[in-house]
Structure 1
Amino acid sequence: MPDFTLADHDFDAIIFDCDGTIADTLPVHYLTFKEALGEHGHTLDEAWYHARTGLSSGKLFAAYEQAHGVTLDRDALLTRSRALYENHLDTLREHGFAADIARSQFGHVPMAVASAGQKSVVTATLRTLDLLELFEHVVTVEDVSRPKPAPDLYLLAAEKLGVAPQRCLVFEDTDEGLEAARAAGMDAVDVRPFTIGEK
């Protein structure tokens, strides 16, 4: 694992992505989507899903339709996925690298979560991991008109924190998310080198 120190970064606030950054939600989401699709007679290949992590639910279902030549009732699947998610929270784990940074900075700098997920799901994730109270704000895809890689989520988080975007440090795990943060004018850290092989 590479070395990392916060002292190398100049910031007044920190914004974290959720899925894949502070929470290892991949197993939970896979089981959730697999179950929801299965109820409609569709299968979900694990390798296919893993190759598309970081996509919002809507984009994932669109990719599934294109790949499999089917038409899905996306709204119904989204609603069902939200309901099923909490059934699989026992498989949820944190990513210690970013979660430990959030704990260490709590009370020192304002912090927020900016996620492409649904608010009910993101809130349930953070609450299950006992991380929710660390963040002053949680903004999700429902709060903006354009998801990542547009900068809207990160700009909204900065606005709610009352900190200029250029003074925000972002932790992200996807190319789309990093692009969004940089488009917002923020310093961004790719957490993937620090979470490989993490248990």
Structure 2
Amino acid sequence: MTTALDSAGQLKLVIFDCDGVLVDSEGPSCRATAEFARSKGLSISDDEAHTRFAGMALPQVVRELETELGHSLPDKTAFILRENLVQMMKKSAEPVSGALEMLSGIRSLGLPVRVGSNSSVREMDAKFERTGMTQFFPENRIHSANDMGCPKPAPDVYLYAAKAEGVLPENCVVIEDSNTGAEAAWKAGMACVLLRPDDVPLPPFWPVEGSVRITHLDELVPLLRRTLESQKHA
């Protein structure tokens, strides 16, 4: 299958994950989850929480904690955790290094962008307002797998974003950092750029067709520029 990153393909849409790709919120979020877990009597360190829960939607996190505890948590647990996170992000969300410059660069390439995240729309609104990214992502370009009820690794949020743009999955590239999100992109039949340091292992299913790894966001615009140029001359 020809992908959006192939010279014979057609790149028409860039879909971003939010946490860990655009906004540096994975760390604070996972630390908050670890603190909550410890308050319930579980021995989960901040580092373990990041390894286990990065990229997960909060209802999934709650189900995992319930399994480990051996009993159910109150029905509103995910809602309370989300509201706490929204307030935290309003005060402390920071852009991933190079994110704002990268978004300006992609805009100069003329490529449309959307977001597909396991975060709720309320969370993303808080993060984007705090980090100055609202200019790139008006509300109709933000899609929440959590709010859809189909969190990653299900591909639904990415397929919905493509449909909203009016393009086929094979015309999209997803920018991800988590195994969960990369799996969702793969299941959607989309090319994937994985943002991951050299010292962090790749997903067990990597590489897949149309996949590229970068270690910093400053590599993304040159990659997409080369792709567009190769497709123009194909």
TM value normalised by structure 1:
0.81
Q: Which runs of 5+ in 2 are unaligned?
A: 198-214, 218-234
User: RMSD between aligned alpha carbons?
Assistant: 2.7
Aligned to 1:116: 118
Q: CA 1:46–1:31 in 2, change beyond 3 Å: closer, same or farther?
A: closer
Stretch moving more, 22-31 or 146-155: 22-31
Aligned pairs, how many?
Answer: 189
| 1:118 positional shift | 1.3
Structure 1 residue 178 and structure 2 residue 182: aligned?
Answer: yes
Contact 1:12 1:110 in 2 (8 A): yes
> 2 CA distance for matches of 1:184 and 1:121?
24
Larger Rg: 2
Deviation at 1:189, TM superposition (A): 0.4
Shift, 1:77, TM fit: 1.7
Residue 54 (1) aligns with residue 55 (2): yes
Q: Using the TM superposition, name which of 187-196 and 150-159 deviates more.
A: 187-196
Q: Which moved more, 1:18-27 or 1:43-52?
A: 43-52
| Structure 1 spans left out of the alignment, 5+ residues | 1-5
1:98 Cα deviation (Å)?
Answer: 4.5
CA deviation after TM superposition for structure 1 residue 70, in Å? 3.6
Runs of 4+ in structure 1 over 6 Å off: 6-9
The change in CA–CA distance for 1:100 and 1:69 in structure 2 (over 3 A counts) is farther
Q: Percent identity?
A: 27
Q: Map of 1:1-20 to 2, 5 A cutoff?
A: 11-20=11-20
Bigger mean CA offset, 20-29 vs 187-196 = 187-196
The 3-state SS of whatever aligns with 2:116 is: strand
**TM-score, length basis structure 2:** 0.70
From the superposition, tell whether residues 7 and 102 of structure 1 become closer, same or farther in structure 2 (CA, over 3 Å). farther
Which residue does the alignment assign to 1:3? none
Paired with 2:96 and 2:19, the residues of 1 have a C-alpha distance of 9
One-letter code of the match for 1:128? R
Does the Cα contact within 8 Å between 1:172 and 1:190 map onto a contact in 2? yes
Q: What is the one-letter code of the residue matched to 1:157?
A: A
